[in-house]
Amino acid sequence: MSLGRFGANLGFIERPLFAGFVWGAVTGDMSLALSLAVFYELFWLDLFPAGTYMPPNPLFPMLCVLTLSESLAAPDIVTLFLPVILTLPLAALGSFIEKRQREWQVAGYNRVILCLRADGDIGKAAGRAVSASLAQLFTVNAFVFFAATTLVAFGASALTAWQGQPLTFQYASWPLLWVIGAVGGMLSLRIRRNYILFTAGGTAIGLFLLLPL
């Protein structure tokens, strides 16, 4: 069991780079999918699961943006930059759903334990618990993802209608997005000087943008 566990570690499947590669292979737009995946891979690099802590789920916003990109005639960073930034909170929503899902499974686990204590059919009880868990997981995630993507698309359409033109960020570029994402990689080094430099640099840039010259 131990050799199997460490010899067949499939944790990479839930990483943004793997999901981006699969999306690119299916849709044919590998450049866009991997460019977005690099950002989402870096942005939360500082946060990793430890004990009962569940970090934000980067796949949630990434798949939302990729889904929205399919509705655009020519998706690129100029048209997707604002959706990328605005959908970042969906990562926290994905983590919250996962946490709630684990709490819901306590009821199924308790039913299996009660069946075991009552000398019931433990195999059948465990099978029902697993089936119910998978059905619940798929239903909840599919509904929330559909609702979130629809809400983001509706909001973007409303803003476009209000401004009379598509929302774009003409100064956006992939390197700029990756630099923003690299903040997570820098903070993951756990070096105090990095935190100080990041705070000072962010403050300086904020003052430069806010204060009149």
For the record, the structure tokens of 108 come out as 């199924």
Residue 54: per-residue pLDDT = 77
Going by C-alpha positions, the residue among 83, 64, 79, 99 that lies closest to residue 155 is: 83
pLDDT at 122: 63
* pLDDT score at 183: 76
Cα–Cα distance between 69 and 62 in angstroms, integer?
Answer: 11
Q: Find out whether 183 and 202 touch, Cβ atoms under 8 Å.
A: no
CA distance 160 to 166: 5
Say what the pLDDT of residue 5 is.
Answer: 42
Q: What is the pLDDT of residue 36?
A: 92
Ranges under pLDDT 70 in the chain: 1-11, 47-52, 73, 115-126, 159-169, 187-192, 194-195, 198-199, 201-213
What pLDDT, on the 0 to 100 scale, is given for residue 189? 65
As given in the structure block, the two tokens for residue 141 are 């995630």
pLDDT, position 132: 76
d(CA 200, CA 66): 34
- For residue range 74-132, list pLDDT tens digits in order: 778 888 887 888 888 888 888 888 888 877 777 777 777 776 666 666 666 667 777 77
Supply 16's token pair: 């943004």
Instruction: Answer yes or no: are the C-beta atoms of 98 and 54 closer than 8 Å.
Output: yes
Mean of the per-residue pLDDT values of the chain: 76
